[in-house]
Amino acid sequence: MSVYTKVTPSQLADWLKRYSVGTLTELRGIDAGIENTNYFVTTTHGRYVLTLFERLPERSLPFYLGLMAHLARQGIPCPAPILDHSSGLYSILNGKPAALVTRLAGAPVLSPEPAHCAAVGAVLADMHVAGQSFPATLENPRGPKWWRETAPLVGPFLDTTRRQLLDAELAFQSRYRFQDLPRGPIHADLFRDNVLWDDERIGGLVDFYFAGVDAWLFDVAVTLNDWCTHPDGEIDGRRAIALLGAYHAARPFTAIERGAWPAMLRAASLRFWLSRLHDFHLPRPGELVHAHDPEHFRRILELRIRDAHVLPWIA
């Protein structure tokens, strides 16, 4: 959610004529994230978020925006895309595909307690169940194919120890096939900053632009690696059990998911180590850009390898 493409108030006011959202009263850039250009937009009719898609292929936008619309109709607290006068989910603004979605109430909780983790586990399971009826499909854009393509790009920036870790983990993951796991649309990036809290309840799940169809367990692993992890990368057992227990109560885990859990936590760690390496060493110019430290997920990966036989799970 950085600002790469500038939009002036006059440009936006003209673009907004294709929507029934009133007239523009405020436009403000959002200074977090690294993938798209985002602005808070306030009009005489309400509050919205404007996203200009910088990297995503235009052909994938119907999946992302359609999924959000589907989940919102199913009662999942996520942004609902606003249709323009021709019922389009997006259109071109300053040369980029752009969408307007509802702005949800709340703010992230960056120091979660077990109760927060339980609520996140429950809503994640609800999202997976609701997504089963979404008919479109899109391969996880940051799945194994992307890992294999990205590793050679970041490898030259790594020392021998880190390069050996990356090569070994890619070889380990290549021996696993997760196609038999329960699957469907996943968020794939449900970190703390992508969940908005309105007092003690979840006000919204945001930033669906890494979503795809993959094993639901991968989504659980991504979420746990952030919500239930201490700054040093160690798992907080109380938070982890709260998240897993609440998820299981809403969408019970299967026996095959139990067996895949250690490898899946490693897969989720590898995915974010690679993406942070890429964004750190191969950035693109832009305003308000914040690349995350890749070492955090390198440590998490090493710990998930070390603790493979003592990882938290539900009883």
Q: One digit per residue, pLDDT tens: the chain, 315 residues?
A: 467 899 999 999 999 999 999 999 999 998 765 678 999 999 999 999 999 999 899 999 999 999 999 999 999 999 999 999 999 999 999 999 999 999 999 999 999 999 999 999 999 999 999 999 999 999 999 999 999 999 999 999 999 999 999 999 999 999 987 888 999 999 999 999 999 999 989 999 999 999 999 999 999 999 999 999 999 999 999 999 999 999 999 999 999 999 999 999 999 999 999 999 999 999 876 534 467 899 999 999 999 999 999 999 997
Percent composition of the chain: helix, strand, coil (DSSP 3-state, to 5): 45, 15, 40
Could you identify the residue written with the tokens 């077990």?
A: 114
**Phi first, then psi: what are they for 240, rounded to 5°?**
-65, -45
Amino acid code (one letter) for 307: D
| SS3 state of residue 152 | helix
Q: Are 304 and 311 in contact (CB under 8 A)?
A: yes
Residues near 236 by Cβ (< 8 Å), separated by ≥ 6? 228, 229, 230
Q: Output the CA–CA distances (angstroms, integers) from residue 4 to 74, 96, 206, 207, 289, in the order listed.
A: 33, 11, 20, 17, 8
Q: Are 301 and 266 in contact (CB under 8 A)?
A: yes
Q: Are 108 and 197 in contact (CB under 8 A)?
A: yes
Helix 216-227, helix 295-306: angle, nearest 10: 110
Q: What is the DSSP letter of 142?
A: T
- pTM to 2 decimal places: 0.94
Give the closest residue to 260 by CA, choosing from 168, 175, 186. 175
Give the closest residue to 271 by CA, choosing from 212, 312, 228, 200. 212
How high is the pLDDT of residue 284?
72
Hey, what domains does the chain have and what are their CATH numbers? 9-102 (3.30.200.20), 114-306 (3.90.1200.10)
